[in-house]
Amino acid sequence: MVLLAVGEWARYGRQVITYSADADPRTEQLGVKEREAPQRIHDYWASVGHPERSGLDDVPWSAAFISWDIESAGVPRDLFCPSQTHTIYVERLVERAAELGEILLSGLRAIDSPVVREIRGLGLFSGIEIDPAWASAREVAMRLLARGILTRDTHHTVVRVAPPLVISRTQLEWALKNIRSVLAEIERGLKRAA
């Protein structure tokens, strides 16, 4: 999505704000102007159900562009709602983060393992505090990475879990299953070694 957005910015905007001590800031548009390529703006509008609009009218199209970008990146429509307004995206992302965050936190808190000292989080941003007597956060993060789960170890004892906002419930449940498995492996491994 980012590459698509950067490509479109390079085509249309490449807007640069120039600051000077001698004058007010000014915006320069270095790329193609909307009126010079209305078909692409039409594509943005078509993605939100308004194919009658194009770059030749004076309707702001930035939210329609966001819908086009998300759709062009292959994100399924059940994960986003094409809209011509920006607020719906923010509202939906906040709702999804709260909803899926509850699933993530309750799933993490349900893990009964001596490897885990504490679970904390908000929305889709969670931390698993690891008991250093069992493993380091780095070891846990590397084992999760080997299973396809990208996390981050912080402060030597915390594994940060911050999935993307477009994660599906199925993907989140798969990740929770693998987190449980990794922690169980560590627990079994240390018990065998003792």
Burial 89-98 (b: 16+ CB within 10 A, else e): beeeeeebbe
More confident residue, 113 or 93: 113
- 23-67 pLDDT, tens digit per residue, is 887 777 666 776 777 888 888 888 888 888 877 777 777 778 888
What's the confidence (pLDDT) of residue 13?
63
Contacts 24+ apart (CB under 8 A), 139-142: 139/186, 140/115, 140/182, 140/183, 140/186
Give residue for tokens 């498995």. 181
* Mean pLDDT over the full length of the chain: 85
Distance, CA of 79 to CA of 102 (rounded, Å):
17
Mean pLDDT (whole number) for 79-107: 80
What's the confidence (pLDDT) of residue 137?
96
Give residue for tokens 């908000």. 122
Element (H, E) at 182: helix 169-193
What's the confidence (pLDDT) of residue 38?
80
What's the confidence (pLDDT) of residue 111?
97
Q: Which residue from 109, 114, 113 is spatially nearest to 161, judged by alpha carbons?
A: 109
pLDDT band at 15 (very low <50, low <70, confident <90, very high): low
Residue ranges of domains in the chain: 2-85, 99-193
Mean pLDDT (whole number) for 170-189: 96
| Six-digit token string for 38 | 């209305």
Residues 6+ apart with CB under 8 A from 174: none
- List phi, psi (to 5°) of 47: -70, -15
* Strand intervals (E) in the chain: 16-18, 26-28, 116-122, 125-130, 152-154, 158-161
Do residues 127 and 160 lie in contact, with contact meaning Cβ atoms separated by under 8 Å? yes
pLDDT band at 86 (very low <50, low <70, confident <90, very high): low
Distances (CA, A) of 168 to 88, 94, 103, 121, 148: 19, 14, 11, 19, 15
- List phi, psi (to 5°) of 32: -70, 140
99-193 — its CATH code? 3.90.1150.10
